[in-house]
């Protein structure tokens, strides 16, 4: 009898545990088949510049995507530049014959020659994992590829001329991003993201991005 009671208790606990697990699974957000659109404000960092200099751009992105399963999604993004950055530089002063100008001590005279760091637009495609932390929040990690159009505008002889020549020699690059979303109200989410938009090949400048946005699922 004692053995039977123990077995009955164990069975009851097992069934209760399975039922609870089933309820927990049923309570997880169902994403498969849903589409979404989002709008993000992006801070873009030109990471890896020479010396202690830095540059950044501000962009906005429009994203459209779909959930293939509850945990996998694909999306495309269009980014549009809003504000570029002007970085201090210098160059040797030259006379009308093209010769360097020197001061009375024989030292070369240098003058200001700044450079504009600009990203005009980009297109991206991503595929990645989406995992719910709770009914109202999820994390995601995505890999993809991007096409980036932009330039570094610098004068001949400027300290930034080499960077200007090498920047975005390859406009295509592998990209990645990680993000977190929070449900604000039904079907509306706030998003936080970080990642690498473009990896420098010859210039060694990586474009890192940090974003805040709003997403609508339908």
Domain residue ranges in the chain: 1-30, 32-217
Intervals of the chain under pLDDT 70: 1-28
Q: Evaluate whether 154 touches 120 at the Cβ level (below 8 Å).
A: no
pLDDT tens digits along 126-147: 999 999 999 899 999 999 999 9
Which among 77, 205, 204, 182 has a CA at the least distance from the CA of 136? 182
Which among 52, 112, 114 has a CA at the least distance from the CA of 84? 114
User: In this predicted structure, what is the pLDDT of residue 27?
Assistant: 60
Name the DSSP class of 53. -
Class assignment of domain 32-217?
mainly beta
User: In this predicted structure, what is the pLDDT of residue 87?
Assistant: 94
User: In this predicted structure, what is the pLDDT of residue 2?
Assistant: 44
């Amino acid at each position: 009898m004692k053995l039977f009671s123990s077995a009955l208790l164990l069975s009851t606990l097992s069934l209760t545990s399975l039922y609870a697990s089933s309820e927990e699974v049923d309570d997880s957000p169902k994403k498969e088949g849903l589409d979404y659109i989002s709008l993000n404000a992006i801070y873009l960092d030109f990471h890896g510049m020479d010396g202690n200099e830095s540059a950044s751009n501000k962009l906005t992105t429009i994203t459209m995507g779909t959930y293939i399963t509850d945990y996998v999604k694909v999306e495309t993004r269009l980014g549009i530049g809003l504000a570029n950055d002007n970085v201090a530089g210098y160059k040797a002063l030259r006379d009308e014959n093209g010769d360097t100008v020197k001061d009375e001590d024989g030292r070369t005279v240098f003058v200001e020659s700044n450079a504009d760091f600009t990203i005009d637009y980009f297109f991206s495609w991503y595929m990645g994992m989406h995992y719910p932390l709770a009914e109202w929040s999820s994390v995601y990690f995505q890999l993809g590829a991007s096409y980036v159009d932009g330039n570094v505008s610098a004068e001949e002889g400027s300290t930034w001329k080499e960077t200007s020549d090498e920047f975005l020699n390859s406009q295509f690059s592998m990209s990645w991003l990680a993000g977190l979303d929070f449900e604000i109200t039904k079907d509306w989410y706030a998003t936080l993201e970080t990642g690498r938009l473009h990896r420098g090949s010859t210039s060694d400048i990586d474009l890192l991005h940090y974003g805040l946005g709003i997403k609508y699922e339908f």
